[in-house]
Amino acid sequence: MKKTKTLIGDEGATFVNAFTVTPLCCPSRSSILTGQYPHNHGVRNNSVSGNCSSIQWQKDPETEAFPVYLSKLKYQTFYAGKYLNQYGKKDGEGVSHVPPGWDHWHALVGNSQYYNYTLSVDGKEEVHGDSYEKDYLTDLIANRSLNFLENRSPQHPFFLMLSPPAPHSPWTAAPQYQKEFSNVKAPRDGSFDKPGKDKHWLLRQPVNPMPSSSLDYLDNAYRKRWQTLLSVDDMVEMLVKKLESIKELDNTYIFYTSDNGYHTGQFSLPIDKRQLYEFDIRVPLMVRGPGIKPKQTLQAPVLNIDLAPTIMDISGVDLSTVNVDGQSFLSQMAPSLRNGTVRPFFLVEYTGEGHPTTDPACPKLGPGLSQCFPDCVCEDAFNNTYACVRTLDGKTDLQYCEFADTESFVEVYNLTSDPHQLENVLKKTDPAILQAMNQRLIKLQSCEGDSCRDVNIVGEVLFQTDVSYREVLARRPRQEKYRCH
């Protein structure tokens, strides 16, 4: 994405340690909207039972999402593209539901598509077909956003949130880009096709080395993902040019990011996300705007729960009045505008999904699994439920994770010496360090608001007791439906 890098990254700040607090679409997007960890907004996975765009979500966390606060400040707000995976379904309020805070609403019903989809346009159903000129979703989002900018009121500020399907499956590139990158393959470095020894059982089940069928599948996916992103690159260029033409470019902050990472062959897992490793929790983040000097590369960790408070901070919202777990990173990229601190550690949490019955395509595997393709390699399971504390303070680069499963499995990585997380060093780590990480994890798993950002509060409880993540889950009333198999 050369245009995006030039027009946003080179003109502003690139955050090389940006993370999602949960590596899956719906809970991550819910965190972006609310500025909260999943254990606070209650969205656990992509299912309605996991609270994705459920009635409960619509009645509670969604009413406190950041666009509500922007609307109170007379911002003109515009949304286009994928919202939440279960949005528009009958389990919620259907396509008539327009989340509060949005003046102009063009949201995809359900999960990512490029053609043959339905939009909710200000609460009314709009059905699309397979014409590139009329229906290709990435281009439609771009065109409608340009129209919004052209017709906005110059008397009030504006906010756009654009969520194209790319590079999500089904990886349908625009016609002019379908032959690009014909020789590109997924990188064969790092943990690619390495055995998942000493890891959670889900990482130990893939065949190693991968069969040629899996390699062909993931290489094809990798190429097609790149192809779909060329249209996003075009969209960024069009938006920047439009802002320049209406003389708003120098007065506008532009954020480019994603809701989760992705893997293609790491530890012999063909394609997906949902895992605790760097390839799934790291996301791109570039920002340009007033007060941000060009060509900055920033090292301090930033989370997707920090986007909402940062956007509200820029817009003038008093952050002491809102309930967020994240913190504004405006001070990092524009220190002339704000003073602030950086966090030394943070939480990553995920609730696994599985099917209650055996997948007919993989009869030997049994129930409780999901995403078992290609070649019946499963990417998720009910007991792929974990919480991690990630320490990244400039001196220490550690990750400590506990699974809620029958093994009470623990994984520990020293990313300073092992950036690809090839070796679980649990048995080699000083017990005092393990104790400290365990206590940090417990506090973060129950944090809310200020306590998620208060390093001193977390530090005070170190070495007091030894409680496992499973026990924390058992204690917490809001996790009564948490399924651990």
What are the percentages of helix, strand and coil residues in the chain, rounded to 5? 35, 15, 50
- The pair of structure tokens assigned to 56 is 């409960």
Could you give the C-alpha distances from 29 to 25, 151, 153, 156, in angstroms and in order? Answer: 6, 28, 28, 27
Annotation says 25 is catalytic? yes
For residue 378, how many other CB atoms are within 10 A of its CB?
Answer: 21
- The pair of structure tokens assigned to 303 is 């989370």
Which residues make beta-bridge pairs with 41? Answer: none
- DSSP state for residue 305 in the 8-state scheme: G
| Separation of alpha carbons 245 and 99, rounded Å | 31
| Separation of alpha carbons 366 and 369, rounded Å | 8
- Considering 25, 26, 372, 388, which one is annotated as catalytic? 25
E strand or H helix at 308: helix 307-315
Give the dihedral sign, CA 337/338/339/344: negative
Angle at 294 between CA 293 and CA 298, to 5 degrees: 80
Q: Give me the active site residues, please.
A: 25
